[in-house]
């Protein structure tokens, strides 16, 4: 099943590339649905008490290379399956969301999306450091083409290239860090890298080398300068892939690789610097979102703020654990909030796309009154906004609560500053919704607008179901990742 999970998107990508029919989008969507069905089957039949150091039901190990001491070792535990499930769900919905738009060179476009899914599945399932890097780089190629060639306006190539350079340089640093750990370990195997013996100074160097890739990909302030323009000028599907799934590669990497490999650095000044930057990013992103009038940039800075809170929660729990107060709350909050953020931010970018196509502008000040002609959209857009605002019974609530709890355990000052997100997020989300839906609007423009198409309704309704379901049953995600997180946090202190 794990091999099928990896082969379906890469074989499907090849088929779609070769399919010269205008209906290639249906083939791509069918392949994405098959991939999602396989992932759901695996979730239904997994024992989530196993971790990466034990016998996993779904794993593949090829003979180890005598030259590099590396192997094609794939395996999934609860942590992996959370991110794989999110990837398969969102990939199918992202492909479906494009059905109501005019897409040139459809077979290439959808083939690239499936190729990216292949790389993402590889990142979340590999248990070998060198293979992790390889899959990490594979994802960069299709997303550059998706954002650069199918993006909006003339400057898209410039901004996408900036994103490519940032990410590639960060990845080079990560490769250097992984090789350094490999030289002190038995092999590139994940568990062997956990057991590498490194001094304090060596761990600090390794920490910043590996963290460079994650800081850019998240992105974390001040490594975020590529993000606003790339998200804004990318195609809608490109923005969704970047914010909904690619960001999660870095969160996964923090948990799976960085925490167990460099615990001494995290306990020292390096961990505290990242924590400060993450908390600053929470407020910085929210404040920019409040004053911006570009609907895509508002969502971009909202994402920056939420990712900052996730990162802060992870490091707060890691530092507490390393100082003798064992807790995985920050990790649990990060996992469920990552899943919620993926659903919510894809929903927000899709709602923004609907607004932009209706009003023919990204300027929020030139929108308004859509609630009078699009009641279905008003309801579904509201559910997505409530999920983002972490309203109780919505998917964002429990994750944000757990993350703030982990920060409160670490420092009252930290939770007071980061807790401003509760107020600031409400301000910019209600401002976005209020102006777009209840603003005065132009009666002549509104007269020509319509409610959601079948495709638009299906995508938003599906996202709304996940928002409501995870808000009512958050343990669906927490139970999957619990034992994996325990193993990771215990690995830091063993």
Query: What SS3 class is residue 74?
Result: strand
pLDDT tier, 54 (very low <50, low <70, confident <90, very high otherwise): low
Percent of the chain with pLDDT over 90: 72
- Looking at residue 22, its pLDDT comes to 74
- Looking at residue 16, its pLDDT comes to 92
pLDDT tier, 55 (very low <50, low <70, confident <90, very high otherwise): low
- Looking at residue 154, its pLDDT comes to 67
Give the pair of three-digit tokens for residue 260.
């167990």
Distance CA 278, CA 223 (A): 11
106-125 and 24-44 helices, crossing angle to 10°: 20
- Looking at residue 391, its pLDDT comes to 94
- Within 8 A by CB and 6+ apart from 407, the residues are 279, 312, 313, 316, 330, 414, 415, 418, 419
Q: Are 90 and 70 in contact (CB under 8 A)?
A: no
In order of 225, 269, 283, 320, 427, the CA distances from 417 in angstroms are: 23, 20, 8, 19, 16
Mean pLDDT of the chain: 91
Per residue in 70-91, pLDDT (tens digit) is 888 888 999 999 999 999 999 9
Per residue in 397-425, pLDDT (tens digit) is 999 999 999 999 999 999 999 999 999 99
Distance CA 274, CA 229 (A): 24
Q: Are 265 and 196 in contact (CB under 8 A)?
A: no
Q: Are 39 and 476 in contact (CB under 8 A)?
A: no
- Looking at residue 20, its pLDDT comes to 75
Distance CA 274, CA 405 (A): 18
Least confident of 11-25, 34-48, 141-155, 419-433: 141-155
Beta bridge partners of 74: 60, 126
Residue with the two structure tokens 């999970």? 5
- Looking at residue 106, its pLDDT comes to 81
- Looking at residue 153, its pLDDT comes to 65
Beta bridge partners of 128: 189
> What's 107-157 look like in SS3?
HHHHHHHHHHHHHHHHHHHECEHHHHHHHHHHHHHHHHHHHHHCCCCCCHH
> What's 358-379 look like in SS3?
HHCCCEHHHCCCHHHCCHHHHH
């Amino acid at each position: 099943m794990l091999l099928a999970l990896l082969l379906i998107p890469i074989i499907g990508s090849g088929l779609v590339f070769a399919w010269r029919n205008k209906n290639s989008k249906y083939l791509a969507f069918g392949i994405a649905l098959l991939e999602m069905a396989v992932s759901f089957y695996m979730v239904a039949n997994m024992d989530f008490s196993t971790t990466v150091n034990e016998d996993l039901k779904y794993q593949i190990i090829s003979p180890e290379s005598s030259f590099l001491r590396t192997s094609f070792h794939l395996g999934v535990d609860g942590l992996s399956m959370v991110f794989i499930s999110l990837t398969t769900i969102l990939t199918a919905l992202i492909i479906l969301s494009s059905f109501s738009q005019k897409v040139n060179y459809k077979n290439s476009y959808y083939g690239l999306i499936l190729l990216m899914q292949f790389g993402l599945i590889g990142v979340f399932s590999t248990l070998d450091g060198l293979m992790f890097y390889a899959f990490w780089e594979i994802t960069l190629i299709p997303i550059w083409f998706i954002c650069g060639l199918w993006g909006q306006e003339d400057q898209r190539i410039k901004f996408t290239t900036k994103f490519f350079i940032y990410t590639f340089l960060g990845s080079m640093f990560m490769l250097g860090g992984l090789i350094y750990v490999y030289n002190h370990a038995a092999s590139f195997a994940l568990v062997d890298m956990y057991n590498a013996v490194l001094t304090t100074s060596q761990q600090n160097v390794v920490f910043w080398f590996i963290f460079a890739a994650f800081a850019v990909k998240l992105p974390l302030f001040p490594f975020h300068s590529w993000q606003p323009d790339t998200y804004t000028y990318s195609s809608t599907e490109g923005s969704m892939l970047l914010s909904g799934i690619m960001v999660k590669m870095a969160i996964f990497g923090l948990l799976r690789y960085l925490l167990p490999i460099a615990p001494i650095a995290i306990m020292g000044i390096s961990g505290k610097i990242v924590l400060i930057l993450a908390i600053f990013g929470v407020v910085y992103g929210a404040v920019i979102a409040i004053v911006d009038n570009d609907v895509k940039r508002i969502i971009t800075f909202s994402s920056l703020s939420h990712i900052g809170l996730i990162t802060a929660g992870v490091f707060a729990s890691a530092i507490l654990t390393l100082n003798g107060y064992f807790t995985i709350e920050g990790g649990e909050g990060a996992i469920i909030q990552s899943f919620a953020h993926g659903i919510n931010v894809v929903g927000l970018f899709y709602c923004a796309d609907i607004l932009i196509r209706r009003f023919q502008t990204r300027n929020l000040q030139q929108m308004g009154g859509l609630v009078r002609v699009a009641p279905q959209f008003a309801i579904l857009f509201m559910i997505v906004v409530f999920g983002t605002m972490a309203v109780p019974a919505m998917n964002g609530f429990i994750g944000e609560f757990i993350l703030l709890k982990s920060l409160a355990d670490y420092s009252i000052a930290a939770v007071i500053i980061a807790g401003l997100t509760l107020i600031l997020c409400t301000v910019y989300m209600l401002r976005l919704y209020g102006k777009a839906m209840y603003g005065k609007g132009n009666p002549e423009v509104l007269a020509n607008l319509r409610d959601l198409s079948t495709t638009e309704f299906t995508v938003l309704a599906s996202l709304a179901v996940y928002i409501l379901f995870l808000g009512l049953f958050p343990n669906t995600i927490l139970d999957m990742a619990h034992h994996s997180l325990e193993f990771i946090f215990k690995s830091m202190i063993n």
